[in-house]
Chain A
Amino acid sequence: MLPKKPFIHTFITRDKKYVYDVNTNTILNISDDVFDYLSTGINEEKEISNDLRVKIEKMVDQGFLSEKRIKEIEHPYNEMLPFYLKNRLNTVTLQVTQRCNLRCSYCAYSGKYEERVHSDLDMSFETAKKSIDFVIDNSSEAQVISIGFYGGEPLLMFDLIKECVEYAKENADGREIYYHMTTNGTLLRGEILEYLVENDFKLLISIDGPQEIHDKNRVFAANGKGTFKVIMDNIRDMHKKYPEYVKNKISFNAVLDGTTDFSCTKQFFADYDEIKDLNVNTSFISDKYAKVNFDVYEKYKIQYSYEKFKVLLNKIGRLESNLTSDLFDSQFIRLKQNLYERDFSSSINDKEHPGGPCVPGVKKLFVNVDGDFFPCERVSEISEPMIIGNIDDGFYLDKIRAILNIGKLSEDLCKNCWAFRFCTMCASAADAIGELSRETKIKGCPSVKFNAEKDLEELCVLKEFGCTFDTDLGFVDL
Chain B
Amino acid sequence: MIKKKAFIYPYDSESTHFFRFNEMNKMYDVVGGVSPNGWGLRGKDVGSADAGHALNIKVKDKIEDTDEFDTLFLVDSKIELDFEKYIFPKLKQVVKTKKEIVNMRELTDEQIKQIIDLCKANNVGFKNILEKHYNLHEIKIIYDITVPVVFVAGISDRTNKFDIQLSLRKEFENMGYKVSQIGTKNHCELFGFHSFPSFMFENGTSNIEKIKKFNSFVKGIEVIEKPHVIIIGIPRSLAPMCKELPDDFGCTGFMVSRAVKPDAAIVSMMYNNYKADYFEEIQNLCKYRFDFEVDCFNIANNQIDYQDSKFFLNKLYTVIDSDYIDEKIKHYKATKPIYNVQNKEDRIKMASYLIDVLAGEEFIEDVL
Q: A-side interface residues toward B, CB under 8 Å?
A: 79-80, 83-84, 86-88, 136-143, 145, 170-177
Shortest Cβ distance from B361 into chain A, in angstroms? 40
- Residue pair B10, A174 in contact (C-beta under 8 Å): yes
Q: B-side interface residues toward A, CB under 8 Å?
A: 10, 12-13, 35-42, 49, 51, 79-81, 86, 273, 303, 305, 314, 316-321, 324
29 A–B contacts, CB within 8 A, in A order:
A80-B318, A80-B320, A83-B51, A83-B303, A83-B318, A83-B319, A83-B320, A87-B40, A87-B318, A88-B318, A136-B37, A137-B40, A140-B12, A141-B317, A141-B318, A142-B40, A143-B79, A143-B80, A145-B38, A172-B37, A172-B38, A173-B38, A173-B86, A174-B35, A174-B36, A174-B38, A174-B39, A174-B79, A175-B36
CB-CB under 8 A from A145, the residues of chain B are: 38
A138→B48 CA distance, assembly (Å): 12
Q: Report the nearest B residue to A80, measured CB to CB.
A: B318
- Residue pair A175, B318 in contact (C-beta under 8 Å): no
Tell me whether A175 and B38 are in contact in the complex, defined as CB-CB below 8 angstroms, given that A88-B316, A141-B316 are known contacts.
yes
Q: How many A-B residue pairs have CB under 8 A?
A: 67
- Residue pair A173, B36 in contact (C-beta under 8 Å): yes
A83-B320, A174-B86 known, 10 other contacts, Cβ within 8 Å:
A79-B273, A80-B318, A87-B40, A140-B13, A140-B39, A145-B38, A173-B38, A174-B10, A174-B35, A176-B80
CB-CB under 8 A from A79, the residues of chain B are: 273
Q: Report the nearest A residue to B312, measured CB to CB.
A: A143
CB-CB under 8 A from B81, the residues of chain A are: 174
- Residue pair A136, B38 in contact (C-beta under 8 Å): yes
CB-CB under 8 A from B41, the residues of chain A are: 140
A172→B81 CA distance, assembly (Å): 12
CB-CB under 8 A from B40, the residues of chain A are: 87, 136-140, 142
Q: Is the interface of B mostly helix, strand, loop or mixed?
A: loop
Contact of A171 among B37, B303, B321 (CB under 8 A): B37
- Residue pair A171, B314 in contact (C-beta under 8 Å): no
CB-CB under 8 A from A141, the residues of chain B are: 316-319
A416→B72 CA distance, assembly (Å): 60
CB-CB under 8 A from A138, the residues of chain B are: 40
A432→B343 CA distance, assembly (Å): 47
CB-CB under 8 A from B318, the residues of chain A are: 80, 83-84, 87-88, 141
Name the 3 nearest CB pairs between A and B, nearest first: A174-B36, A175-B38, A172-B38
Contact of A177 among B13, B38, B305 (CB under 8 A): B38
A80→B36 CA distance, assembly (Å): 27
Select the residue from B40, B314, B319, B321 with max chain A CB neighbours within 10 A: B40
Shortest Cβ distance from B233 into chain A, in angstroms? 24
Shortest Cβ distance from B24 into chain A, in angstroms? 25
- Residue pair A175, B320 in contact (C-beta under 8 Å): no
Shortest Cβ distance from B42 into chain A, in angstroms? 8
Shortest Cβ distance from A423 into chain B, in angstroms? 15
Q: Report the nearest B residue to A79, measured CB to CB.
A: B273
CB-CB under 8 A from B36, the residues of chain A are: 173-175
CB-CB under 8 A from A170, the residues of chain B are: 37
Select the residue from B35, B273, B317, B318 with max chain A CB neighbours within 10 A: B318
Q: Report the nearest B residue to A337, measured CB to CB.
A: B311
Q: Report the nearest B residue to A172, measured CB to CB.
A: B38
CB-CB under 8 A from B38, the residues of chain A are: 136, 145, 171-175, 177
Q: Report the nearest A residue to B43, measured CB to CB.
A: A137
Q: Report the nearest B residue to A168, measured CB to CB.
A: B38
CB-CB under 8 A from B324, the residues of chain A are: 83
Select the residue from A86, A139, A141 with max chain B CB neighbours within 10 A: A141
Shortest Cβ distance from A259 into chain B, in angstroms? 37
CB-CB under 8 A from A88, the residues of chain B are: 305, 316, 318
A174→B324 CA distance, assembly (Å): 30
Shortest Cβ distance from A172 into chain B, in angstroms? 3
A88→B324 CA distance, assembly (Å): 18
Contact of A173 among B37, B51, B317 (CB under 8 A): B37
Shortest Cβ distance from B232 into chain A, in angstroms? 29
CB-CB under 8 A from A136, the residues of chain B are: 37-38, 40
